[in-house]
Structure 1
Amino acid sequence: MPQCCVPECVNRSETNQELSFYRFPANEKQRLKWLKLIRRKDFIPTCNSRVCSWHFSNGKDEGPSRFSWNSDKTFNFPNPEPKTHVRRRKRKQLLENSVDENEDDAVQGLLVLADAAASTVNSTSSVTAGETILQIEKVMLIKENETLKKELERQKQTFSFKQIENDADKVQYYTGLPDVATVRFLEQLLGRFELTYQSTWTVQMLALVDQLLLTLMKLRLNLGNLDLATRFNCSTATVINIFTTVVGALYDILYVGMMENNIPSIAKNQKCLPSCFLPFPNCRIVFDCTEVAASNTEKPDTQCHLYSQYKGRTTLKSLIGVAPNGVITFASDLYGGSDSDKAITSDCGILKQLHPGDMILADKGFTIRDILPQGVSLNIPAFLMNGQFTQEEVVNNRQISVARIHVERSIQRLKLFTILDRIPYQFKKIVNKILKVCVCLTNLQTPILCEFQDKM
């Protein structure tokens, strides 16, 4: 049964059931105050020590103030905690915060010893007590130092967007985007939707902007999964989970939500028509095909379908449509490298989006006049038929060449996302999403043509 530890007090819970019996407070300052008030020399309270409620005339928070020796007197005690104790308490709290619940008994014993030493130290402390406190403080500082070293080492090993956001060149190198504002814009778009991770678990160890950075670095630099895992201090499984998830989200937001089936009309094109396209005012879109290296792990019959005579290796091929101002407005799914430009154009669905009066600009490989919708025209360079071009053909070929150079520059920008050099085989199922996300990110660059840059 609890018994009051105050000198000259004989109250026990079994004989005074109306009284409450309070433990000493965990707060060091309050505990020292209680010890000074009860005047019990060399007393170290334990978890079983109690003070009965008879001594608390002003409530528990004010501490015990009613004793047999001062029943007719009033005492005003000063703050029992000198400045030296404040410093020691702060150091002790730092150590307590760093001590894990499973910390070894030796450290826990030092903390108990610190409580005991602090409760007995006063202006006439002995030399032994002072030495004990110094030893305890030394252990605390060593522990604190080790904790800070581990935290610093962990921060050094983790790559994050904060490390590059103040350097425009680094942002452009790692992400392929022109500036920090564009990266933050994509972060805000992603933040509006709840990401559904491709794996069965959610990634919480990396902030959303760092997950976006990891994905952009994979697209821009095609870094290996182990490389990214080392940079971001995570596992390769986490890298794959983040990449597939963020690519899927960007595809849904940027391509499906903003770009798919949304080719600008002739009227919209004419509002920002470059001077090199003035000879082709009815041009709605410029066609070209681009190829992506394919893995050789396919079956032999599949490899035959993927083999490109033009590239001399197995590839995947996509039809790219570019507006006269240099913005990519269409990207087909990827086909086998052996498919012709005409076959891809016929199958990908682009012709369904064209209307009578539209004109397509393309190179000689697009012999597609016989499959065009009624009223849609095609302008390609003339073929040499009689050993010499006519003056009209020369002029037309030159005008087409001058206009198409900007389209080729747009596709060149697209290829700066080096994952398109060779998409890893493990991402085979999302190759179309990867291509179209890269297309959308390419459109976030500064304008191709100088005459539009001056207007921005």
Structure 2
Amino acid sequence: MTCKRAKLSFQQRTDSRSNHHCCVPFCTASTKTNSYLSFHTFPKDSVLQKQWAVKIRRDHFIVTNTSRVCSRHFVTGDLIEPLTPAGHRRLQPGAVPVLFHWNNYNIPTPRLGLWERTERPPNTDLTVMQTDPDEDDPGSCHEHVYCTSTEPAALHLSLNENEELREEISKLRQQIEDLTVSSKFCLERFSASDEDIRFFTRFASHAHLMGFWKQIEPATINIIRVTRAQSFTKTDQVPHSASATVLQPIDEFFLFMNYLSLGLMQKDLAHRFRIHRSTVPPVIKKS
């Protein structure tokens, strides 16, 4: 990896945004390591706020003033350019995050509902009721058909029991998210230990590493990422197991430093960072 010599100021970022983290599961973006991303608060409208919570798969998430969703999860048309005079990026009214790790950061195709997927005979009208031949008979008593129904057992649970179940599910989801983050091999996991930083990157401390990253970070947005599908267009031989790189730019840099410092094999790097082995060489060559 080559770069021009420059006088570096090895200082960790201490601005007011340094504590902002993206609350989307599996997303490790923060203003500490991704200054070119923007971090947006939840809308004040309760309906739109609930849509955000459902989209990021945190149905019972408690929204606070510090809750943020990074711009990586919005389509380009939802981001207003240019920036405000204060340097902030705004969202279009009614914008909802739709790009996530679980849909490979692509706009999901809307799924048809059960009624649209079911074939129905022509002239089907739910508002038309079949005439009961005995409805003119004053002595008949068939109204009980509409009054008796077998309800699921869950509907008989008390409100307190339902609330306890919701709280338990919310706690379990939080535990899963915490375990997922703690098990990931990334720079953020070792940021609190200068000893680990020296071992994996050969930088003297995390502050020195972040000072160097601050100098090269603006250039990362101009990197052209060539997908495996594009690299095989000449031979029309696209491998069947192509996998997109989902690492943050700072973690791609961390992978490259692991490669230089420890001399790890590509298979070992792919296993550590949980990416496909075929995506390791492009990261190394790009760096």
- In the superposition, the TM-score normalised over structure 1's length comes to 0.25
Q: Which has the higher strand share?
A: 1
- In the superposition, the TM-score normalised over structure 2's length comes to 0.37
Q: Which has the higher helix share?
A: 1
Bigger RCO (CA 8 Å, 6+ sep): 2
